[in-house]
Amino acid sequence: MRQAGRSLPEFRALRERHSFAELVASAELTAEVTLQPVRRLGVDAAILFSDIVTPLAAIGIDVRITSGVGPVFDEPFRSERDLDRIRPLDPDTDLAPVLAAVRILKAELDVPLIGFAGAPFTVASYFVEGGPSRDYARTKALMLGEPALWHRLLERLGDLTIASLRAQVGAGAAAVQVFDSWAGTLHPDHYAAHVLPASTRVFTALADLGVPRIHFGVTTGELLGHMAAAGADVVGVDWRVPLDLAWARIGDHAVQGNLDPAVLGAPWDVVAAEADAVLAAAGGRPGHVFNLGHGVLPDTDPDVLRRLVDHVHARTT
Amino acid sequence: MRQAGRSLPEFRALRERHSFAELVASAELTAEVTLQPVRRLGVDAAILFSDIVTPLAAIGIDVRITSGVGPVFDEPFRSERDLDRIRPLDPDTDLAPVLAAVRILKAELDVPLIGFAGAPFTVASYFVEGGPSRDYARTKALMLGEPALWHRLLERLGDLTIASLRAQVGAGAAAVQVFDSWAGTLHPDHYAAHVLPASTRVFTALADLGVPRIHFGVTTGELLGHMAAAGADVVGVDWRVPLDLAWARIGDHAVQGNLDPAVLGAPWDVVAAEADAVLAAAGGRPGHVFNLGHGVLPDTDPDVLRRLVDHVHARTT
């Protein structure tokens, strides 16, 4: 139920008074926004409200979240010189409001809090493109044309991810989710050569924390095996891939997913039938975490979300 | 090499003087724009310059191509009443400039001309959403919530596709390509229940023409088997799916693809190596049509496209 907030009137009311940057910069507002969907929907976990580029902003790189667009960098990553702009993250100072929010949430939540960070590829894609992209042409040109520089970039970005998630767990997060939202744009051979090493390094560096590590992306059908191999305990599956096929690729890992979020705009009996189809495809396996296959769409009726949560609870308990 | 035009200076020069609608409405301009990439790139076939919504515009539905956006409908498809707006297509009158362009091209081209039309799902998605979409929420709500109306809509749209492609072949096209560009947003079970029958009907109605029928989409990894079963002779594969995996899903059909178009922004030795990897994955099978996995990106250097065509010719002849 990622991005459930944007469908909620209470979140929209807050957004009218505060910019995205203000929400992320305030521990109290971050905690409030994280709590909103839990209160209203009755989900079994909360996910920290944050952004993929938050650690980059925290170390002083100029990036702003533009409404309706996403993160925008005035000075994108272009060459080796830009590596020096990525200094190490000191979470206690750089992410002070984020960690304070985690502590508030740890005290207030009755359900586990999932920590949030971007995977090296997806963070790099924003930094290299200068913002969201449809085709990731600059990112791929750098990755394939200057692989040594690319690997150094992903290692530095991976350090930010590791430091951020270790600190979030230290402050009370009970699981971590690594968002490689756009890795699905890659051919599996490119992923294996140019992304998997950096993501494996991230998951390995989180192993001793002893919390579940979730690895998420969309259009990742052909990447699922690699995403599991990176060290994830749980692999997110988008709605395009039937769960039985996904499991065959993922092997002995848990799976999160994968109801098509667009289905929630259909009449309720259709939503219920589609949720049942996902549960049937999971076949009652204990390693299934029911979820949407991607984030909640902004026009989704919150009452349908609540009804879906209740429906799945009734079917599975 | 679909959409190669937008990377060519000679196409951009024409676009400065003519709107997209003017290009499609003029047989001479359509023919010229179709010929441009063939002249410059030396490809083995031409594809008719057209748009997915051309047949809808031809029967009088108000749709305009907005630069940088795509097709926009002021009055999208909303209910059963809108079915009556989709009257049968009379190609000789409604598509007169398109068919005149095909005749010009038949006379001028040294390579086969591929006819162009949208598949029922993708045409419906534009008409139902009112334009391009990221999530196809309205389309899916209609498809799942009102399946009987949806099937009637796809049948009418399929009639337009059939009439348009039959007329294009009658005027001289030597193959047809059916673009289901956005079907990859669907779970395979939804595709099988709500799209496959209409697409099968289209391919079946083209069988007696005796020309190769190509079926194309992106993010269709899990749909490839269905797309072959619809009756295609050739199935397009996007760059995310290794060709050997694609073939295992497609079975005994030819395959078109699947170099990542974004790779063309990398240095030439990378482009050559990536093209070689696609050829190696195809393993010299006679049923492989080398192509990009999607359209040419606008910033692509035409010289790289030409060099790629020459490179593939040198490797395969």
Chain A contact present for B145, CB below 8 A: yes
Residue A68 has a pLDDT of: 80
CATH architecture classification, A4-316: Alpha-Beta Barrel (3.20)
B187 touches chain A (CB under 8 A): yes
Pairing assessment for the beta strands A213-216 and A234-236 based on DSSP bridges: parallel
pLDDT band, residue A2 (cuts 50/70/90): confident
For A:261-290, CB contacts with B below 8 A are: 261-263, 265-267, 270, 274, 277
User: With an 8 Å Cβ cutoff, is B125 touching chain A?
Assistant: no
Please report residues of A whose CB lies closer than 8 A to that of B274: 144
Amino acid at B145: G
User: In Å, how far from its chain's centre is CA A172?
Assistant: 18
Residue B236 has pLDDT above 90, yes or no: yes
Concatenating the DSSP letter of every residue in A117-139 gives EE-HHHHHHHHHHTS--SS-HHH
The percent of residues in chain A predicted with pLDDT above 70, rounded, is: 100
In this predicted structure, the answer to whether residue A118 has a pLDDT above a threshold of 80 is yes
Write the pLDDT tens digit of every residue in A15-45.
Answer: 999 998 899 999 999 999 999 999 999 999 9
As a whole number of angstroms, the distance between CA A275 and CA A290 comes to: 9
CB contact, 8 Å: B248 with chain A? no
> Residue B118's beta-bridge partner residues?
B179
Q: How confident is the model at residue A6 (pLDDT cuts 50, 70, 90)?
A: confident
Residue B207 has pLDDT above 80, yes or no: yes
In degrees, to the nearest 5, what angle opens at C-alpha A21 toward C-alphas A292 and A17? 90
Residues 6+ apart with CB under 8 A from A124: A77, A139, A150, A153, A154, A157
Q: Which residues contact A236 (CB under 8 A, 6 or more apart)?
A: A177, A214, A215, A216, A217, A255, A256, A257, A258, A291
Q: What is the pLDDT of residue A245?
A: 94
| Integer CA distances (angstroms), A315 to A88, A272, A290, B185, in order | 46, 10, 11, 27
Question: For the segment B33-78, what is each residue's pLDDT rounded down to a tens digit?
Answer: 999 999 999 999 999 999 999 999 999 999 998 888 889 999 999 9
Cα gap B299→B294, rounded to integer Å: 14
Average pLDDT for residues B104-127, to the nearest whole number?
98
**Partners of B132 in beta bridges:** none
The ipTM assigned to this model is 0.95
The confidence band for B300, taking pLDDT boundaries of 50, 70 and 90, is very high
When mean pLDDT is compared across A223-227, A285-289, B159-163, B235-239, the lowest value belongs to A285-289
List CB contacts (< 8 A) between B189 and chain A. Answer: 242, 277
Confidence of residue B284 (pLDDT cuts 50, 70, 90): confident
Q: In this predicted structure, what is the pLDDT of residue A160?
A: 98
Inter-chain residue contact A265 with B187, CB threshold 8 Å: no
The Cα B310–Cα B315 span in angstroms is 9
| Beta carbons within 8 Å of A146's beta carbon, 6+ residues apart | none
Lowest mean pLDDT among A159-163, A248-252, B97-101: A248-252
What mean pLDDT do residues B1-20 have?
90
The band of B1, judged by pLDDT with boundaries at 50, 70 and 90, is confident
Give the pLDDT confidence score for residue A67 in this predicted structure: 81
The confidence score (pLDDT) of residue A286 equals: 85
Chain B residue with Cα closest to A142: B266
